[in-house]
Amino acid sequence: MPRAWAQAPAGPGHESLRLLTEDFPPVNFQQDGVVKGLSVEIVQEIERRLGLKDEITLMPWSRALREVQGPGRVALFAMARTPAREKLFKWVGPIVTFYSSLYAPARGGLRLRSLDDAKRAESVLVVRDWYTAEQLASVGFKNLVPVADPVTGIRMVLAGRATLFATERLSMPQTMAQAGIPEESLEIVYSYASSEGYIAFSHETPDSLVQLWNEKLRDMKRDGSFRTIYKRWLPNDAPPQ
């Protein structure tokens, strides 16, 4: 059953907006039955400023990606804004910066000088439908092996069932902690890209509503509340403009 925070009754004339996210700590995740994280706080503050409290549902990324491309007013966060996705959604953001890295078992002696080295590896694990998979496929990788979730990728590469795991570094410490795997078990052997994460809206979401969300986010960036939320969750990272 997808997990959600309580929904308040919609105000007069307000058609509810479905808000979807995934388990990707510390950006968005569930703890003790509550959906929380950097992007969740940003979304909740925008909704508060709009006088709304739409339901936030946490579900697997692949399912959420299908839902936001379907009918109705739907938003999914936080989504990397990539060329392949540009025309599929309406965008509000950026709200976070993602960093793509290749991981291997620690102290294994593997070092990469370029992405071409990774192309020659026996296999590179990627989480199905994540932007990291899209990035590598777009530059000619033929050795990608999709997995359902990051914990599966971590366990497979540690078990020697793949050479590398391509993933996003912000989430790795907490993901490994949740899986009970010491953070020092893996190491970054190559970092290759950064991407900005947005709130992605379905095409059936009215432009006027998307514009209101963008306006409230700009207000948060101007008054400093966006930076305050960002630094609470990612104290060592610079907030996107």
- Whether the per-residue pLDDT at 7 is higher than 50: the answer is no
- Nearest alpha carbon to residue 61 among 188, 136, 167, 174: 167
User: What total of structural domains would you count in the chain?
Assistant: 2
Mapped onto helix, strand or coil, the DSSP state of residue 160 is coil
Instruction: Kindly report the pTM of this predicted structure.
Output: 0.87
Does 152 lie in the same domain as 102? yes
The pLDDT assigned to 2 comes to 43
Does 86 lie in the same domain as 7? yes
Does 18 lie in the same domain as 81? yes
- Whether the per-residue pLDDT at 206 is higher than 70: the answer is yes
ω before 26 within 30° of 0 (cis)?
yes
Percent of the chain with pLDDT over 90: 91
The pLDDT assigned to 151 comes to 94
Q: Please, what is the average pLDDT of the chain?
A: 93
The pLDDT assigned to 179 comes to 87
Tens of pLDDT along 64-101? 999 999 999 999 999 999 999 999 999 999 999 999 99
Asked if residue 239 belongs to a domain, the reply is no
The pLDDT assigned to 154 comes to 97
Does 159 lie in the same domain as 52? no
| Domain of residue 141, residue span | 98-194
CATH number for the domain including 162?
A: 3.40.190.10
Structure letter (DSSP) for residue 37: S
The pLDDT assigned to 14 comes to 63
Asked if residue 226 belongs to a domain, the reply is yes
The pLDDT assigned to 213 comes to 98
More confident residue, 4 or 125: 125
- The helix (H) or strand (E) run that includes residue 50 is helix 38-50
Read off the pLDDT of each residue in 12-29 and give the average, rounded to a whole number.
87
